[in-house]
Amino acid sequence: MEKAFRSASIDLLARWIFSELDSRDAVMGIPKANFQVPHPKLAREMFGHTVAAPLGVAAGPHTQLAQNIVAKGDLSPLDVQPLNMVQACADWLGIPQWSRRTANALTLALATPSELALGAILSPEYMVSA
């Protein structure tokens, strides 16, 4: 008999994350040194810790949805010269401008428009503007 899936409360997840971080300098096996640290202006107090990134369980469904969008979507707007692909991707998604960091990351996927589109959909600029 299969076990029923039960979601964990945000309080439980936060306690688990911060407990591992405090005791092991890692979360779920990922070393603290590998964490992306957002700008301090984004920081908020949550569950007794300062956090500066979204905390929750949406990353899994979001990344799956992004893959489905790319698989079924019309990527023809990205059929431009490689020099213009990153900006074409911004135009396709309605992003006024990429940060330098995102633009640099997206240029690594110029050879594969589907990877470029996936990276753009998962970018911070699109996630906060969508």
Task: Dump pLDDT digits (tens) for 104-129.
Answer: 999 999 988 999 999 998 888 887 65
For 74, other C-beta atoms within 10 Å of its C-beta total 7
Q: Which two tokens stand for residue 40?
A: 């301090």
Query: Which regions of the chain are under pLDDT 70?
Result: 1-8, 36-38, 53-60, 128-130
Q: Which two tokens stand for residue 53?
A: 């990134």
Within 8 A by CB and 6+ apart from 86, the residues are 98, 103, 106, 107, 110, 116
Write out the E strands in the chain. 26-27, 30-31, 44-46, 49-51
Query: How far apart are the C-alpha atoms of 51 and 42, rounded to whole Å?
Result: 8
pLDDT, position 59: 62
pLDDT, position 3: 60
pLDDT, position 13: 76
pLDDT, position 103: 92
Q: Helix, strand or coil for residue 104?
A: helix
pLDDT, position 88: 94
CB 70 within 8 A of CB 118: yes
Query: How far apart are the C-alpha atoms of 112 and 55, rounded to whole Å?
Result: 31
